[in-house]
Amino acid sequence: MHHEHPPDYPLTVHDLTVAYQRKPVIWDVELNIPEGKLVGIVGPNGAGKSTLIKACLDLIPKTSGWAHIYGKPYRANRHLVGYVPQRESVDWDFPVSALDVVAMGTYRRLGWFRRVGRKQRAAAMEALEKVGIGSLAHRQISQLSGGQQQRVFLARALAQDARVYFMDEPFAAVDAATEQAIVTLLKELRERGRTCLVVHHDLATVGEYFDWTVLLNMRVVASGPTAEVFTDDNLRKTYGGRLALLDRAANALTRS
């Protein structure tokens, strides 16, 4: 089978397989993600959604295949990428303020050895205000609620000013206000021509939030405009016989 991978796409993945302890987690992944889309990566637990993101960012080793960012290996185009890890991936008791964490987004342009200055702090503050928690800038991060912590992570991604964002479950366990803030932010990023790949759990909101959907269950079941690929048939292929989920999926379909 021959696959085309346009080099001007923010993410192209070819024949990607990742295995933990020789047990494959994702198989033969082929993807072409066009620019300026909000992309939902959807699939059941253990489908390899986070694994896919981490493998694209060289955070875990690939067993075979490659993932390119704008036609080049991740290493070469790292500066174009912003990463929002899962909230649980860090220790929120760490002695830093919200502003400190957001300012970390500016480190790449700052480079080695140079200190965070007024310019970086101003950029961090602007990002915090954009996600609606500017007033909490000087709080130690453990004094923030889960939703506020998630907003800190998003503000940090904003401060990175990347062209393609990888977000690992930003909507997990956040309050309704935060969910709305994230959606607004995603739309703003799209207006600026940025591409966002978002690992997402809630089938009910896929149609509403994302204009491109990747259905994943170890292999890519379908990838394309949400209106085309988010179908009953594809969901059945992705989720198999998980009835409760399928019911929710059916609800989502009737709503959208």
Q: Does 98 bind another protein (CB under 8 A)?
A: no
SS (H, E, C) 48-89: CHHHHHHHHCCCCCCCEEEEEECCEECCCCHHHEEEECCHHH
Q: Does 94 bind another protein (CB under 8 A)?
A: yes
Q: Contact, 74 vs 81, CB < 8 A? A: yes
> Does residue 19 touch another protein according to CB under 8 A?
no
Residue among 102, 81, 228, 63 nearest 161 (CA): 81
Q: How many residues bind another protein (CB under 8 A)?
A: 43
In the set 40, 43, 147, 170, which binds another protein (CB under 8 A)?
A: 147
Shortest distance in whole angstroms from residue 177 CB to another protein = 7
Residue 119's identity, in one-letter code, is K
- Closest contact distance (angstroms) between CB of 145 and another protein is 5
78 counts as binding another protein under rule CB under 8 A: yes
The letter for the amino acid at 76 is A
> Which of 140, 204, 207, 245 is the binder for another protein (CB under 8 A)?
140
Annotate 208-254 with DSSP letters as a single string.
HH-SEEEEEESEEEEEEEHHHH--HHHHHHHHTT-HHHHHHHHHHHH
Q: Residue 156 or 219: which CB sits closer to another protein? A: 156
Q: Quick one: which segment of 4-12, 136-144, 188-196, 207-215 binds another protein (CB under 8 A)?
A: 136-144
Give the residue, chosen from 96, 183, 245, 246, that forms a contact with another protein under the rule CB under 8 A.
96
Return the structure tokens found at 45: 């637990």
Q: Nearer Cβ to another protein, position 94 or 184?
A: 94
Among 19, 80, 107, 183, binds another protein (CB under 8 A): 107
List the one residue out of 193, 236, 204, 199 whose CA is nearest residue 214.
199
Considering only CA atoms, which of 86, 82, 89, 95 is closest in space to residue 138? 95
Nearer to another protein, 95 or 193 (CB): 95
Q: Are 10 and 28 in contact (CB under 8 A)?
A: no
Q: Does 176 interact with another protein (rule: CB under 8 A)?
A: yes
* Smallest distance, another protein to C-beta of residue 64, A: 19
Least distance to another protein, CB of residue 91, Å = 7
Q: Which of 173, 187, 188, 233 binds another protein (CB under 8 A)?
A: 173
Q: Is 148 in the site for another protein (CB under 8 A)?
A: yes
